[in-house]
Structure 1
Protein backbone atom coordinates (compact mmCIF):
# COMPACT_ATOMS: atom_id res chain seq x y z
CA UNK A 1 0.00 0.00 0.00
CA UNK A 2 1.31 3.46 -0.94
CA UNK A 3 2.43 5.66 1.97
CA UNK A 4 3.26 9.37 1.87
CA UNK A 5 4.93 11.65 4.43
CA UNK A 6 2.72 14.70 5.12
CA UNK A 7 2.85 17.70 7.46
CA UNK A 8 0.07 18.02 10.05
CA UNK A 9 -1.40 21.26 11.43
CA UNK A 10 1.09 21.60 14.30
CA UNK A 11 4.09 21.23 11.98
CA UNK A 12 4.85 17.61 12.84
CA UNK A 13 4.84 14.87 10.23
CA UNK A 14 2.78 11.74 9.83
CA UNK A 15 2.26 9.02 7.24
CA UNK A 16 -0.75 9.24 4.93
CA UNK A 17 -2.34 6.22 3.22
CA UNK A 18 -4.04 7.55 0.04
CA UNK A 19 -5.88 4.30 -0.66
CA UNK A 20 -7.71 4.55 2.68
CA UNK A 21 -7.55 8.35 3.08
CA UNK A 22 -6.19 7.59 6.55
CA UNK A 23 -3.22 8.89 8.57
CA UNK A 24 -1.08 7.31 11.27
CA UNK A 25 -1.74 10.42 13.39
CA UNK A 26 -4.23 13.27 13.36
CA UNK A 27 -3.94 15.69 10.46
CA UNK A 28 -4.84 18.39 13.01
CA UNK A 29 -1.52 17.81 14.78
CA UNK A 30 0.35 14.56 15.29
CA UNK A 31 2.34 15.67 18.35
CA UNK A 32 -0.61 17.53 19.88
CA UNK A 33 -2.79 14.42 19.57
CA UNK A 34 -0.11 12.16 21.10
CA UNK A 35 0.37 14.42 24.13
CA UNK A 36 -3.33 14.99 24.71
CA UNK A 37 -4.61 11.43 24.31
CA UNK A 38 -1.78 9.19 25.43
CA UNK A 39 0.40 11.30 27.72
CA UNK A 40 -2.08 13.64 29.46
CA UNK A 41 -5.04 11.26 29.73
CA UNK A 42 -3.04 8.04 29.85
CA UNK A 43 0.43 8.23 31.40
CA UNK A 44 -0.06 11.36 33.52
CA UNK A 45 -3.51 10.23 34.65
CA UNK A 46 -2.08 6.89 35.79
CA UNK A 47 0.79 8.63 37.55
CA UNK A 48 -1.52 11.07 39.31
CA UNK A 49 -3.92 8.34 40.42
CA UNK A 50 -1.12 6.34 42.00
CA UNK A 51 -1.46 3.35 39.68
CA UNK A 52 -1.52 -0.22 40.88
CA UNK A 53 -0.55 -0.98 44.48
CA UNK A 54 2.60 -2.83 43.50
CA UNK A 55 3.91 0.24 41.66
CA UNK A 56 3.27 2.74 44.49
CA UNK A 57 6.62 2.20 46.17
CA UNK A 58 7.80 5.78 45.68
CA UNK A 59 6.89 9.16 44.26
CA UNK A 60 9.29 10.91 41.92
CA UNK A 61 9.22 14.71 41.62
CA UNK A 62 11.41 16.38 38.99
CA UNK A 63 11.09 20.05 37.99
CA UNK A 64 7.42 20.15 38.92
CA UNK A 65 6.57 16.77 37.36
CA UNK A 66 5.41 13.96 39.61
CA UNK A 67 4.66 10.28 39.24
CA UNK A 68 3.29 8.15 42.07
CA UNK A 69 4.48 4.95 40.39
CA UNK A 70 8.11 3.99 39.90
CA UNK A 71 7.46 1.02 37.60
CA UNK A 72 4.98 1.27 34.72
CA UNK A 73 4.25 -1.22 31.95
CA UNK A 74 2.74 0.19 28.75
CA UNK A 75 1.32 -1.64 25.72
CA UNK A 76 0.90 0.31 22.50
CA UNK A 77 -1.54 -1.02 19.93
CA UNK A 78 -0.03 0.28 16.71
CA UNK A 79 3.67 1.10 17.22
CA UNK A 80 3.74 2.72 13.77
CA UNK A 81 6.00 5.77 13.53
CA UNK A 82 7.24 5.43 17.11
CA UNK A 83 5.93 8.91 18.03
CA UNK A 84 4.02 7.76 21.13
CA UNK A 85 6.97 5.66 22.27
CA UNK A 86 9.43 8.52 21.78
CA UNK A 87 7.34 11.03 23.73
CA UNK A 88 6.86 8.44 26.49
CA UNK A 89 10.64 7.92 26.60
CA UNK A 90 11.11 11.68 27.06
CA UNK A 91 8.49 11.70 29.81
CA UNK A 92 10.11 8.75 31.59
CA UNK A 93 13.35 10.70 31.78
CA UNK A 94 11.56 13.77 33.18
CA UNK A 95 9.63 11.75 35.75
CA UNK A 96 12.54 9.47 36.65
CA UNK A 97 10.07 6.60 36.40
CA UNK A 98 10.96 3.22 34.89
CA UNK A 99 8.75 2.38 31.93
CA UNK A 100 8.68 -0.99 30.20
CA UNK A 101 7.15 -0.27 26.80
CA UNK A 102 5.69 -2.92 24.48
CA UNK A 103 4.86 -1.87 20.94
CA UNK A 104 2.75 -4.18 18.77
CA UNK A 105 2.80 -3.67 15.00
CA UNK A 106 1.72 -6.01 12.22
CA UNK A 107 3.24 -3.94 9.39
CA UNK A 108 6.42 -2.10 10.52
CA UNK A 109 7.26 1.27 9.02
CA UNK A 110 10.39 1.31 6.84
CA UNK A 111 13.55 3.12 7.95
CA UNK A 112 13.59 5.36 4.88
CA UNK A 113 10.15 6.59 5.98
CA UNK A 114 11.29 6.99 9.60
CA UNK A 115 14.20 9.14 8.43
CA UNK A 116 11.72 11.61 6.90
CA UNK A 117 9.83 12.18 10.17
CA UNK A 118 10.61 15.37 12.11
CA UNK A 119 9.61 14.45 15.66
CA UNK A 120 12.93 15.14 17.44
CA UNK A 121 13.08 18.60 15.82
CA UNK A 122 9.46 19.50 16.57
CA UNK A 123 9.77 18.22 20.14
CA UNK A 124 12.93 20.32 20.61
CA UNK A 125 14.79 17.10 21.30
CA UNK A 126 17.26 17.17 18.44
CA UNK A 127 19.93 15.89 20.82
CA UNK A 128 17.80 12.74 21.14
CA UNK A 129 17.70 11.86 17.41
CA UNK A 130 19.87 8.81 18.06
CA UNK A 131 17.37 7.57 20.65
CA UNK A 132 14.45 8.03 18.25
CA UNK A 133 16.33 6.09 15.60
CA UNK A 134 17.26 3.41 18.12
CA UNK A 135 13.56 2.73 18.80
CA UNK A 136 13.28 1.61 15.19
CA UNK A 137 16.69 0.01 14.76
CA UNK A 138 16.59 -2.45 17.68
CA UNK A 139 15.47 -5.99 16.89
CA UNK A 140 11.93 -7.26 17.27
CA UNK A 141 10.77 -9.81 19.85
CA UNK A 142 13.43 -8.85 22.40
CA UNK A 143 13.68 -6.37 25.28
CA UNK A 144 16.12 -3.49 24.81
CA UNK A 145 17.25 -0.91 27.38
CA UNK A 146 17.02 2.38 25.48
CA UNK A 147 17.72 4.72 28.42
CA UNK A 148 18.14 4.23 32.16
CA UNK A 149 14.37 4.66 32.59
CA UNK A 150 12.93 3.26 29.35
CA UNK A 151 13.01 -0.24 27.87
CA UNK A 152 11.35 -1.31 24.63
CA UNK A 153 10.04 -4.62 23.34
CA UNK A 154 8.64 -4.54 19.80
CA UNK A 155 6.32 -7.34 18.77
CA UNK A 156 5.50 -8.07 15.12
CA UNK A 157 2.02 -9.60 15.36
CA UNK A 158 -1.68 -8.97 14.84
CA UNK A 159 -3.59 -7.34 17.68
CA UNK A 160 -5.97 -10.31 17.90
CA UNK A 161 -3.01 -12.46 19.00
CA UNK A 162 -2.50 -10.51 22.24
CA UNK A 163 -3.36 -13.02 24.97
CA UNK A 164 -1.34 -11.81 27.98
CA UNK A 165 -3.06 -11.72 31.37
CA UNK A 166 -2.72 -8.81 33.82
CA UNK A 167 0.60 -7.63 32.41
CA UNK A 168 0.19 -3.93 31.62
CA UNK A 169 -0.71 -0.80 33.56
CA UNK A 170 -1.58 1.33 30.53
CA UNK A 171 -2.67 0.59 26.97
CA UNK A 172 -2.28 3.19 24.24
CA UNK A 173 -4.92 2.04 21.74
CA UNK A 174 -3.77 3.77 18.55
CA UNK A 175 -5.02 1.45 15.82
CA UNK A 176 -6.28 2.73 12.46
CA UNK A 177 -9.83 4.01 12.71
CA UNK A 178 -12.94 1.86 12.68
CA UNK A 179 -13.92 3.33 9.31
CA UNK A 180 -11.09 1.44 7.60
CA UNK A 181 -10.40 -1.41 10.05
CA UNK A 182 -13.61 -2.12 12.01
CA UNK A 183 -12.29 -5.54 13.06
CA UNK A 184 -9.80 -3.83 15.40
CA UNK A 185 -12.56 -2.16 17.44
CA UNK A 186 -14.70 -5.14 18.42
CA UNK A 187 -15.70 -6.70 21.74
CA UNK A 188 -13.28 -9.58 21.17
CA UNK A 189 -10.33 -7.18 20.80
CA UNK A 190 -11.32 -5.18 23.87
CA UNK A 191 -11.81 -8.40 25.82
CA UNK A 192 -8.15 -9.18 25.10
CA UNK A 193 -7.22 -5.65 26.22
CA UNK A 194 -9.23 -6.00 29.45
CA UNK A 195 -7.50 -9.28 30.31
CA UNK A 196 -4.07 -7.82 29.45
CA UNK A 197 -4.45 -4.94 31.91
CA UNK A 198 -3.67 -5.20 35.60
CA UNK A 199 -6.28 -4.05 38.12
CA UNK A 200 -6.65 -0.25 38.03
CA UNK A 201 -5.15 -0.28 34.55
CA UNK A 202 -6.09 2.32 31.97
CA UNK A 203 -6.76 2.19 28.23
CA UNK A 204 -6.85 5.44 26.24
CA UNK A 205 -7.77 6.04 22.62
CA UNK A 206 -8.49 8.94 20.31
CA UNK A 207 -11.77 7.30 19.25
CA UNK A 208 -15.11 8.40 20.72
CA UNK A 209 -17.49 6.30 18.61
CA UNK A 210 -20.55 5.03 20.43
CA UNK A 211 -19.98 1.49 19.13
CA UNK A 212 -16.43 1.55 20.56
CA UNK A 213 -17.63 2.76 23.96
CA UNK A 214 -20.33 0.08 24.07
CA UNK A 215 -17.83 -2.65 23.13
CA UNK A 216 -15.54 -1.52 25.97
CA UNK A 217 -18.36 -1.45 28.50
CA UNK A 218 -19.59 -4.88 27.39
CA UNK A 219 -16.31 -6.51 28.45
CA UNK A 220 -16.14 -4.80 31.85
CA UNK A 221 -14.45 -1.43 31.37
CA UNK A 222 -15.68 1.72 33.10
CA UNK A 223 -15.56 4.24 30.26
CA UNK A 224 -15.25 8.03 30.36
CA UNK A 225 -15.80 10.50 27.56
CA UNK A 226 -13.15 13.21 27.71
CA UNK A 227 -12.47 16.35 25.66
CA UNK A 228 -10.61 15.32 22.54
CA UNK A 229 -7.42 16.65 20.94
CA UNK A 230 -7.52 19.39 18.27
CA UNK A 231 -9.97 18.39 15.55
CA UNK A 232 -11.94 15.95 17.75
CA UNK A 233 -14.72 16.81 20.17
CA UNK A 234 -14.22 13.77 22.42
CA UNK A 235 -11.98 10.77 23.17
CA UNK A 236 -12.35 7.73 25.44
CA UNK A 237 -10.58 6.48 28.54
CA UNK A 238 -11.45 3.00 29.83
CA UNK A 239 -10.48 1.83 33.32
CA UNK A 240 -10.27 -1.70 34.69
CA UNK A 241 -11.42 -1.24 38.26
CA UNK A 242 -10.09 -3.58 40.92
Structure 2
Protein backbone atom coordinates (compact mmCIF):
# COMPACT_ATOMS: atom_id res chain seq x y z
CA UNK A 1 0.00 0.00 0.00
CA UNK A 2 2.86 2.42 0.87
CA UNK A 3 4.37 1.82 -2.55
CA UNK A 4 1.05 2.41 -4.32
CA UNK A 5 0.46 5.68 -2.48
CA UNK A 6 4.03 6.64 -3.36
CA UNK A 7 3.13 6.76 -7.05
CA UNK A 8 0.73 9.62 -6.26
CA UNK A 9 2.68 11.47 -3.57
CA UNK A 10 6.21 11.22 -4.99
CA UNK A 11 5.58 13.65 -7.89
CA UNK A 12 4.12 16.19 -5.46
CA UNK A 13 7.12 15.85 -3.17
CA UNK A 14 9.61 16.12 -6.03
CA UNK A 15 7.89 19.22 -7.43
CA UNK A 16 8.13 21.03 -4.08
CA UNK A 17 11.64 19.75 -3.29
CA UNK A 18 13.02 20.63 -6.73
CA UNK A 19 11.10 23.90 -6.81
CA UNK A 20 12.71 25.03 -3.55
CA UNK A 21 16.17 24.26 -4.93
CA UNK A 22 15.45 26.34 -8.05
CA UNK A 23 13.92 29.25 -6.13
CA UNK A 24 16.69 29.46 -3.53
CA UNK A 25 19.58 29.30 -5.98
CA UNK A 26 19.29 32.98 -6.99
CA UNK A 27 18.28 33.86 -3.43
CA UNK A 28 21.55 32.38 -2.16
CA UNK A 29 23.51 34.29 -4.79
CA UNK A 30 21.79 37.56 -3.90
CA UNK A 31 22.27 37.03 -0.17
CA UNK A 32 25.96 36.24 -0.60
CA UNK A 33 26.59 39.26 -2.85
CA UNK A 34 24.67 41.75 -0.72
CA UNK A 35 24.97 40.42 2.83
CA UNK A 36 28.03 38.19 2.82
CA UNK A 37 28.40 35.00 4.81
CA UNK A 38 25.75 35.74 7.43
CA UNK A 39 22.96 36.45 4.93
CA UNK A 40 23.96 33.51 2.76
CA UNK A 41 23.94 31.14 5.74
CA UNK A 42 20.49 32.37 6.77
CA UNK A 43 19.15 31.62 3.29
CA UNK A 44 20.68 28.13 3.39
CA UNK A 45 19.21 27.44 6.84
CA UNK A 46 15.73 28.49 5.72
CA UNK A 47 16.00 26.44 2.52
CA UNK A 48 16.90 23.28 4.42
CA UNK A 49 14.19 23.84 7.01
CA UNK A 50 11.69 23.99 4.16
CA UNK A 51 13.23 20.98 2.39
CA UNK A 52 12.79 18.98 5.60
CA UNK A 53 9.11 19.93 5.63
CA UNK A 54 8.63 18.37 2.18
CA UNK A 55 9.07 14.94 3.79
CA UNK A 56 5.61 15.45 5.26
CA UNK A 57 4.20 15.52 1.73
CA UNK A 58 4.98 11.81 1.70
CA UNK A 59 3.15 11.32 4.97
CA UNK A 60 6.47 10.78 6.72
CA UNK A 61 7.67 12.09 10.06
CA UNK A 62 11.17 13.43 10.65
CA UNK A 63 12.29 14.07 14.25
CA UNK A 64 15.46 15.93 15.17
CA UNK A 65 16.35 15.06 18.76
CA UNK A 66 18.99 17.03 20.65
CA UNK A 67 19.00 16.61 24.41
CA UNK A 68 22.69 17.47 24.71
CA UNK A 69 23.99 20.76 26.11
CA UNK A 70 26.54 21.35 23.37
CA UNK A 71 29.04 24.18 23.80
CA UNK A 72 28.95 27.19 21.53
CA UNK A 73 32.51 28.32 22.19
CA UNK A 74 34.49 25.52 20.53
CA UNK A 75 34.45 23.65 17.22
CA UNK A 76 32.52 20.39 17.01
CA UNK A 77 33.00 17.46 14.65
CA UNK A 78 29.60 15.82 14.18
CA UNK A 79 30.12 12.17 13.21
CA UNK A 80 27.06 10.53 11.63
CA UNK A 81 26.04 7.38 9.86
CA UNK A 82 24.74 7.98 6.34
CA UNK A 83 21.58 6.47 4.85
CA UNK A 84 20.40 8.76 2.04
CA UNK A 85 20.69 12.20 0.50
CA UNK A 86 17.72 13.14 2.65
CA UNK A 87 19.98 12.98 5.70
CA UNK A 88 21.32 16.44 4.90
CA UNK A 89 18.46 19.00 5.22
CA UNK A 90 17.49 18.10 8.81
CA UNK A 91 21.17 18.22 9.81
CA UNK A 92 21.72 21.67 8.31
CA UNK A 93 18.55 22.99 9.95
CA UNK A 94 19.04 21.26 13.29
CA UNK A 95 22.70 22.21 13.63
CA UNK A 96 22.40 25.72 12.22
CA UNK A 97 23.66 27.51 15.34
CA UNK A 98 26.89 25.52 15.18
CA UNK A 99 27.80 26.63 11.62
CA UNK A 100 28.21 23.00 10.61
CA UNK A 101 30.09 22.52 7.31
CA UNK A 102 29.90 19.26 5.42
CA UNK A 103 32.65 17.03 4.13
CA UNK A 104 31.19 16.22 0.72
CA UNK A 105 32.26 14.48 -2.47
CA UNK A 106 33.37 16.97 -5.10
CA UNK A 107 30.83 15.75 -7.67
CA UNK A 108 28.04 17.41 -5.67
CA UNK A 109 29.72 20.82 -5.93
CA UNK A 110 28.57 21.33 -9.52
CA UNK A 111 25.36 21.00 -11.49
CA UNK A 112 22.78 20.88 -8.67
CA UNK A 113 20.76 24.06 -8.02
CA UNK A 114 21.23 25.52 -4.53
CA UNK A 115 23.13 22.49 -3.22
CA UNK A 116 26.21 23.01 -5.40
CA UNK A 117 26.20 26.76 -4.78
CA UNK A 118 26.23 26.22 -1.03
CA UNK A 119 28.98 23.61 -1.22
CA UNK A 120 31.12 25.97 -3.29
CA UNK A 121 30.53 29.15 -1.30
CA UNK A 122 29.39 28.05 2.17
CA UNK A 123 32.66 26.71 3.55
CA UNK A 124 32.35 22.95 2.90
CA UNK A 125 35.23 20.58 2.17
CA UNK A 126 34.60 19.16 -1.30
CA UNK A 127 36.85 16.16 -1.64
CA UNK A 128 37.88 14.09 -4.65
CA UNK A 129 37.93 10.55 -3.32
CA UNK A 130 40.29 9.53 -6.14
CA UNK A 131 42.84 12.19 -5.20
CA UNK A 132 44.25 11.76 -1.68
CA UNK A 133 46.34 14.93 -1.88
CA UNK A 134 43.35 17.07 -2.88
CA UNK A 135 41.15 15.46 -0.22
CA UNK A 136 43.70 16.07 2.51
CA UNK A 137 44.13 19.68 1.39
CA UNK A 138 40.37 20.31 1.52
CA UNK A 139 40.10 18.80 4.99
CA UNK A 140 43.04 20.82 6.28
CA UNK A 141 41.50 24.02 4.91
CA UNK A 142 38.21 23.16 6.59
CA UNK A 143 40.07 22.52 9.83
CA UNK A 144 41.71 25.93 9.58
CA UNK A 145 38.33 27.61 9.05
CA UNK A 146 36.91 25.73 12.02
CA UNK A 147 39.74 26.89 14.23
CA UNK A 148 39.64 30.48 12.98
CA UNK A 149 35.88 31.01 12.88
CA UNK A 150 34.71 28.55 15.56
CA UNK A 151 32.78 26.57 12.94
CA UNK A 152 31.86 22.90 13.14
CA UNK A 153 31.95 20.05 10.65
CA UNK A 154 29.69 17.14 9.70
CA UNK A 155 31.38 14.02 8.39
CA UNK A 156 30.05 10.61 7.34
CA UNK A 157 32.90 8.23 8.19
CA UNK A 158 31.28 5.23 6.50
CA UNK A 159 32.43 6.82 3.25
CA UNK A 160 29.21 6.10 1.38
CA UNK A 161 25.50 5.71 1.99
CA UNK A 162 24.00 2.57 3.44
CA UNK A 163 21.09 1.77 1.15
CA UNK A 164 19.52 -0.78 3.49
CA UNK A 165 20.14 0.86 6.86
CA UNK A 166 23.00 -1.49 7.80
CA UNK A 167 25.91 0.55 9.15
CA UNK A 168 29.36 0.16 7.67
CA UNK A 169 32.49 0.52 9.81
CA UNK A 170 33.64 4.09 10.41
CA UNK A 171 36.89 5.04 8.68
CA UNK A 172 39.28 7.22 10.64
CA UNK A 173 41.00 9.25 7.92
CA UNK A 174 38.87 12.38 7.66
CA UNK A 175 38.33 12.83 11.39
CA UNK A 176 42.02 12.24 12.05
CA UNK A 177 43.02 15.00 9.62
CA UNK A 178 40.52 17.45 11.08
CA UNK A 179 41.74 16.76 14.61
CA UNK A 180 45.29 17.61 13.56
CA UNK A 181 44.09 21.11 12.70
CA UNK A 182 41.46 21.39 15.44
CA UNK A 183 42.79 19.38 18.40
CA UNK A 184 40.31 21.03 20.76
CA UNK A 185 37.30 19.89 18.71
CA UNK A 186 34.55 18.00 20.49
CA UNK A 187 33.38 14.79 18.81
CA UNK A 188 29.58 14.46 18.76
CA UNK A 189 28.01 11.28 17.32
CA UNK A 190 24.73 11.58 15.40
CA UNK A 191 22.46 8.57 14.86
CA UNK A 192 20.36 8.76 11.68
CA UNK A 193 17.61 6.17 11.59
CA UNK A 194 15.09 5.42 8.84
CA UNK A 195 15.91 7.83 6.01
CA UNK A 196 17.03 4.96 3.78
CA UNK A 197 13.44 3.74 3.73
CA UNK A 198 12.46 6.62 1.44
CA UNK A 199 14.34 4.83 -1.34
CA UNK A 200 13.46 1.22 -0.58
CA UNK A 201 11.76 1.10 -4.02
CA UNK A 202 14.33 3.30 -5.73
CA UNK A 203 13.94 6.96 -6.63
CA UNK A 204 10.39 6.36 -7.87
CA UNK A 205 8.12 5.78 -6.23
CA UNK A 206 9.43 7.03 -2.92
CA UNK A 207 8.16 5.14 0.10
CA UNK A 208 5.52 6.85 2.21
CA UNK A 209 4.49 7.12 5.87
CA UNK A 210 7.99 6.43 7.17
CA UNK A 211 9.33 7.41 10.59
CA UNK A 212 12.82 8.90 10.67
CA UNK A 213 15.00 10.40 13.37
CA UNK A 214 18.21 12.35 13.73
CA UNK A 215 19.52 11.97 17.29
CA UNK A 216 22.42 13.93 18.78
CA UNK A 217 24.30 11.66 21.18
CA UNK A 218 26.58 12.37 24.13
CA UNK A 219 29.76 14.30 23.24
CA UNK A 220 33.16 12.60 23.31
CA UNK A 221 36.33 14.42 24.35
CA UNK A 222 39.15 13.76 21.89
CA UNK A 223 42.08 15.53 23.57
CA UNK A 224 45.03 13.24 24.18
CA UNK A 225 43.35 10.20 22.62
CA UNK A 226 44.07 8.40 19.34
CA UNK A 227 41.60 9.29 16.60
CA UNK A 228 40.93 5.58 16.03
CA UNK A 229 39.84 5.12 19.63
CA UNK A 230 37.60 8.18 19.61
CA UNK A 231 35.94 7.22 16.34
CA UNK A 232 35.34 3.66 17.52
CA UNK A 233 33.58 5.04 20.57
CA UNK A 234 31.44 7.24 18.32
CA UNK A 235 30.60 4.32 16.04
CA UNK A 236 29.60 2.16 18.99
CA UNK A 237 27.34 4.92 20.32
CA UNK A 238 25.60 5.34 16.95
CA UNK A 239 25.11 1.59 16.52
CA UNK A 240 23.66 1.25 20.01
CA UNK A 241 21.28 4.18 19.47
CA UNK A 242 19.96 2.74 16.20
CA UNK A 243 19.54 -0.72 17.71
CA UNK A 244 17.60 0.72 20.64
CA UNK A 245 15.19 2.47 18.27
CA UNK A 246 14.25 -0.72 16.44
Q: Who wins on radius of gyration, i.e. which is larger? A: 2
Q: Looking at both structures, which has the greater relative contact order when contacts are Cα pairs under 8 Å and sequence separation is at least 6?
A: 2
- More strand, by proportion: 1
- More helix, by proportion: 2
Q: TM-score range by the shorter chain?
A: 0.3 to 0.5
